[in-house]
Structure 1
Amino acid sequence: MFCYQCEQTAKGGCTKIGVCGKTDSTASLQDLLLYLSKGLSQVACAAREQGIEDPEVNLFTVKAVFSTLTNVNFDDARFVALINRCVALRDRLKAKVSGVEFDGPTVLMPALDIPGMVAQGREFGIENDPEPDADVKSLKQTLTYGLKGVCAYADHAAILGKEDNELYAKVQTLLAATLAQGLTVPQCVEAGLECGRINIRAMELLDDANTSTYGHPVPTEVKLGPTAGKAILVSGHDLKDLETLLRQTEGKGINIYTHGEMLPCHGYPELHKYPHLAGHYGTAWQNQKKEFAEFPGAILMTTNCIQDPKKYIENIFTTGLVGWPGAVHVQNDDFTPVIEKALELPGFAETVDKGSVTTGFARNAVMSVAGTVIDAVKSGDIRHFFLVGGCDGAKPGRNYYTEFVEQAPADTVILTLACGKFRFFDKKLGDIGGIPRLLDVGQCNDAYSAVQIALALAKAFDCGVNDLPLSLVLSWYEQKAVAILLSLLALGIKNIKLGPSLPAFITPNVLDYLVENYNIAPISTPEADLAEILG
């Protein structure tokens, strides 16, 4: 195997087993599914030119690609099912297309068993990419990883009924483009920016899906300590799974806790209304092995972020695209096995006060006090805004973000989102004229909210976003972060600080291009970066 799609990749690329825990066979099956999904996209593009649109193919494409994102599915048997379904949909659609000569992934038939599929997958891994230009290959990989993030957001939105055929068409066009030979660096750069643009649309769809279903988030205090009683912990990102579980556990004496990126769910009125949504447990995804092992109830993983759960395999359940061999997979929104396990386990013996945090500062909440914010900037009470967020991870160097927030001057405001906030989410930073200095905007997909806040402030100050007293200090781990970075570049946002390390798939020439055109820079030290930003 060879994989370097995440920030924690070992020595420039995992070659024996992934840092995430995926095996060589899983990695190869993912490579095969991704290659076939690109072929499915080629067929979909050809069909669309002849006026043929297949909604099932469109939705499957984003689900298949999302399933190859880091820490989603580790179950080889489920990849076999996805591979066979991909080929069945491809051939069904291909039969409707006339006058087109197909080849490559549009005609490849998968082997009949897992060893055969694994061998096929190795043929289409990164190291066997025939692209001779290292910079073009780098940009194609960047595009591929950005599209994985786009597909994740598109799938989240589709779960709540929000879809866009134009978005699907662009995803498939760009997936097909990654197979093209003879592309130039400028063409690949433009494709990456187009990925960023369609990611903005995907996040917009998801934002609409979440807010139209559950209401716009409002600032909400969230209890951190446990409440005595039976317990279920929900991790991942999916709001609908949480709502369904809350409905199915009403009156059963079970408290529901959020974990990781589910923390912002407390800010949605239609979720917060359930009295047994008891609070938040734990921190970011990479700490789950310890935190989950100590949790005295059932655990539900709704989207990506799962780690090897062998110490608590009987207590953890997966749903959606998540999979782990041996873990019970819940289907058809029936969480009965999760509920039964929670009732069987002891739950928390006593109520413990561990303080609280506040979430729910999405764009509506922030812009409702925009006048106060603008006045504070004009008066000099607020000198600067920092957006400090992104993915958290276990690799050394991430304490930088904690120290950066701790050292940020008292006349600055910290906006944060995604699981990167767990480095400092419980810090008591006070307020400026009633405006909290730490504002939790939400999940990683709520980067859309953060962008809307920035655009609204730019309009209010009659300037460009790059002229605002706003700096982005980002951490990355997986491919949703790549998609968001491409979106920021597509919006023309410059001067981004990125860490804790730069992607292994970025060549020196591509990095030089980003530095020259966008002034992207790696983080250094909190002291040096604050001094440079604040001048």
Structure 2
Amino acid sequence: MFCEQCEQTASGNGCHQWGACGKSPEVNAIHDLLIYCLRGLARVVLKAKEYNIPTREMDVFTCEALFATMTNVNFNNKQLTEYIKKCIMQRESLKLTIQNTTHIPLTWSALSSYEPDWNESLVLQGENLAHSFISPSSNDLDIISLKLTVLYGLKGAASYTFHAQELGQEDEKVYRFIQEALASLDRTDIRLEEWINLALKVGEINLRAMELLDAGHTETYGHPTPTPVPLNPRKGKCILVSGHDIRQLEAILKQTATKDITVYTHGELLPAHGYPKLKQTYPHLYGHYGTAWQNQTKDFARFPGAIIITTNCLMPPHETYDDKLFTIGPVSYPHLTYLPPTDNGIPDYTPAIEKALSMAGFSEEMPPRQVMVGFARNTVLSVSEQVIEAVKAGKIRHFFLVGGCDGAKPGRTYYTEFVEKVPSDCIVLTLACGKFRFFDKQLGAIEGLPRLMDVGQCNDAYSAIQIALGLANAFNVGVNEIPLSLVLSWYEQKAIAVLLSLLYLGIQNIRLGPTLPAFLTPNVLKFLEDKYHLQAIKTPDEDLAACLG
């Protein structure tokens, strides 16, 4: 196998025998085969768009299928094979629609006509196709690097687009670009500069996808407001909901409303507590349990109720708790109970509810502990005058955005130490699961403003960007001139998409770690260093000194 799409690749170079995420070489090969088939579908979809033939079904499917190939999402070859079959079925059906609409004989490329040999090993076919993708005749490693950057960023953008459409927010421009980028991946006539521009275009489109998702969340559930979230469980039956999908969290809350079950969030769903309409409507949405995704083996083993995984990141489960684990949407693992969607995209959660009712639940109350969430753009910008006055008065010296993905690889203690060493006249904004390194730290306040503010999920990078742009406008300077430093951690493809969005906006001096992406060649890294001053993290002391210097 060959995979280097996440930060935890073996030796920092790529996984060749078994995925660090837990996926087998066989699963990796089926992922590659699915990507190849999606590239063929993309060309047919684009041709249909030329003739104004509706393609929404294929566009949504493409986003979901790309989502399934992300790190820690789908480990199930059976379900992945069904995605491949559906991809080919949609492609051939759309070809027929184009023919019947235009009455023009069209010749399709080998890519858009490809069908696996179902009588032979799909794994071997996927491996051969993956090898041809990363070993083109040009043998230009920098172009291969950028092609992989485009593909990985596209996976992240597609996942946000998939979530946004669940909430009724869609943009044909986003769908079209995703198909265009997929169709471009096998081109050999694109020069290095054009691949760089295409990667930055992924960032532009991902920014729009995050904007759509933000609109879906805020229009449905209201703008987040500062909200205390209990970390201590309460007595009674319980369900734990992990992942990112707030629409599915609401569906679970609806289906458990009369069941005397307490619902807890896990991982990236912590910020859901800040949405007022969600919190007010469902009082049994009580608290948060556990920390980041890589700790789920111990968190899930101890949780005395059913657990539902709505998105990434799923780790290979232990047999001690796999009987209480349920997956939905693009998430799947062999032998786990999968809850299929109904016509409206919402599963029937009855099996998980019944499991929760059959289990002991929490038997006693725990000592109170809590954290605050809900410091999204509306909250922060509503006190922008107060912030500006505090900066002018020298009471706030600097802002740090410290966030991104968490992970198990050594080196991530850097982020805990960094936040602990941030001077008392500075404010830390954070988002995504990287915050679990320090989310319960008591950093105090400056002029009534908390020194640690949780902006939200990884997709709420959009909200953080709006905060930065809002402060820049208020100070009447460029965004790179405000006293703000970005210190980011990355793990998977959503983080790649967010990074590309920041580069598209021209954000300078981003510090990234714990290691830099293995798929970036030295020449591509040098370009990013020269143009954007993108740099690897060093030590907390060195980086703080540089940021505050």
TM-score (norm 2): 0.96
Contact (CA 8 Å) 1:84, 1:110: kept in 2 or not? no
Structure 2 unaligned blocks of 5 or more: none
Which 4+ runs in 1 deviate beyond 4 A? none
The worse-fitting range, judged by mean Cα deviation, of 234-243 and 267-276 is 267-276
Alignment of 1:60-71 (within 5 A): 60-71=61-72
The one-letter code sitting in structure 2 at the alignment partner of 1:313 is: D
The 2-side partners of 1:230 and 1:166 are apart by 45
1:431 alignment partner in structure 2: 445
The yes-or-no answer on 1:280 pairing with 2:285 is no
Q: Which residue of 2 aligns with 1:330?
A: 339
* 1:83 and 1:110 in contact (8 A); partners too: no
Q: Percent identity?
A: 54
> Any conservation in 2 of the 1:2–1:127 contact (CA below 8 Å)?
no
Letter in 1 for 2:10: A
AA aligned to 1:236 is: G
Greater mean alpha carbon deviation, residues 132-141 or residues 45-54: 45-54
Please list the CA deviations of residues 261-309 of structure 1 after superposition, one character each: whole Å capped at 9, or x if unmatched. Answer: 0000000012212221120000000000011011111000001101111
1:396 corresponds to which residue? 410
More divergent stretch after superposition (478-487 vs 101-110): 101-110
Structure 2 partner of 1:319: 328
The answer to whether the 8 A contact 1:44-1:53 is kept is no
Deviations for 1:51-78, whole angstroms, at most 9, x for unmatched residues? 3331111111111111101111111110
Match of 1:92 in 2: 93
* Comparing 47-56 and 272-281, the one that deviates more: 47-56
- For 2:373, give the aligned amino acid: T
CA distance in 1 between partners of 2:131 and 2:270 (Å): 35
Contact 2:234 2:362 in 1 (8 A): yes
Is 1:104 aligned with 2:110? yes
**Distance in 2 of aligned mates of 1:71 and 1:354:** 33
Range that drifts further, 96-105 or 244-253: 96-105
**Alignment match of 1:196 (pick from 186, 193, 203):** 203
Contact 1:225 1:353 in 2 (8 A): yes
Distance 2:54 2:277 in 1: 35
> What is the rounded CA distance, in whole Å, between the counterparts of 2:73 and 2:277 in structure 1?
27
Deviations 1:421-474 (A, max 9, x none): 000000000000000000000000000000000011111111111001000000
Corresponding residue for residue 240 of structure 2: 233
Among 207, 211, 225, the residue aligned to 1:218? 225
Aligned residue for 2:5? 5
1:169 is aligned with what amino acid? R
Partner of 1:183: 190
Alignment of 1:497 onto 2:506: no
Distance 1:509 1:71 in 2: 29
Q: Secondary structure at the match of 1:474?
A: strand
Residue matched to 2:489: 475
SS of residue matched to 1:125:
helix
AA paired with 1:286? Q
Deviation for aligned residue 1:50: 2.9
User: What is the distance in 2 between the residues matched to 1:296 and 1:465?
Assistant: 47
The whole-number CA distance in structure 2 between the counterparts of 1:100 and 1:428 is 65
Report the counterpart of residue 79 of structure 1 in structure 2.
80
User: Once the two structures are superposed, what CA deviation does each residue of 1:342-378 show, in whole Å capped at 9, x if it has no partner?
Assistant: 0111011111024100001011111111111111111
Instruction: Give the C-alpha shift of residue 99 in structure 1.
Output: 4.7
The count of aligned residue pairs is 534
Match of 1:26 in 2: 27
The answer on whether the counterparts of 1:3 and 1:126 sit within 8 Å (CA) in structure 2 is no
**1:121 aligned onto 2:129:** no
Tell me how far 1:405 sits from its aligned partner.
0.3
Residue 118 of structure 1 aligns to a residue whose secondary structure is: helix
Tell whether the 8 Å contact from 1:471 to 1:496 is kept in structure 2 after alignment.
yes
Look up the equivalent residue of 2:276 and give its one-letter code.
Answer: P
The Cα RMSD (Å) is 1.1
Confirm or deny: 8 A CA contact 1:224 1:353 kept in the other structure: no
Relative to 1, partners in 2 of residues 1:361 and 1:176: Cα closer, same or farther, differing over 3 Å?
same
Further displaced range: 273-282 or 78-87: 273-282
Letter in 1 for 2:116: P
Question: In the alignment, what sits opposite 2:53?
Answer: 52
Compute the displacement of 1:396 (Å).
0.2
* Deviating more after overlay: 124-133 vs 422-431: 124-133
Query: What is the identity, as a one-letter code, of the residue corresponding to 2:85?
Result: N
Q: How far apart, in 1, do the equivalents of 2:351 and 2:458 lie?
A: 29
- Please give the alpha-carbon distance, in whole angstroms, between the structure 2 residues aligned to 1:126 and 1:245: 42
Q: Structure 2 matches for 1:101-500, cutoff 5 A?
A: 101-112=107-118, 116-125=121-130, 128-131=133-136, 132-273=139-280, 274-311=282-319, 312-331=321-340, 332=342, 333-500=347-514
8 Å Cα contact 2:150/2:198 also seen in 1: yes
Asked if the contact 2:133–2:186 (Cα under 8 Å) also holds between the matched residues in 1, the reply is no
User: Helix, strand or coil for the counterpart of 1:314?
Assistant: helix
Instruction: Determine the C-alpha separation between the residues in 2 that align with 1:43 and 1:82.
Output: 17
Find the aligned partners of 1:126 and 1:443 in 2 and give their Cα distance. Answer: 35
SS state of the match for residue 226, structure 1? coil
